[in-house]
Amino acid sequence: MNKVWNVEDVRKLLAETGEKMGFDCAHVPVEVSSRMEKTMGSFLFREKEGRITAHAFRFAQVLLSGYYDESVVRNVILHEYAHFYANVRDNRNHKHDAYFKRVCEELGIPTHTYFKELLPRTKKNGYILVCSKCGSRVAARRKVDSVNMILKSKVSGCCHAKIRAKKAVF
- Annotated domain spans of the chain: 7-107, 125-169
Running DSSP on this structure, what letter comes out for residue 3? Answer: P
Instruction: Please tell me the pTM assigned to this model.
Output: 0.75
pLDDT of residue 114: 86
Instruction: Give the closest residue to 132 by CA, choosing from 115, 110, 151.
Output: 151
Instruction: Compute the distance between CA of residue 107 and CA of residue 90 in angstroms, rounded to an integer.
Output: 17
Question: Residue 153's CB: how many other CB atoms inside 10 A?
Answer: 8
Beta bridge partners of 127: 141, 167
Look at residue 22 and tell me whether its pLDDT is greater than 90.
yes
Determine the average pLDDT of the residues in 77-101.
97
Look at residue 116 and tell me whether its pLDDT is greater than 80.
yes
Residue-wise pLDDT tens digits, 53-75: 999 999 999 999 999 999 999 99
Checking DSSP bridges between strand 137-141 and strand 30-33, what pairing results, if any? Answer: unpaired
**Buried (b) or exposed (e) across 93-125, using 16+ Cβ within 10 A?**
ebebeebbbebbeebebeeeeebeeeeeeeeee
pLDDT of residue 42: 98
**CATH code of the domain made up of 7-107:** 3.30.2010.10
Residue-wise pLDDT tens digits, 132-157: 999 999 999 999 999 999 999 999 99
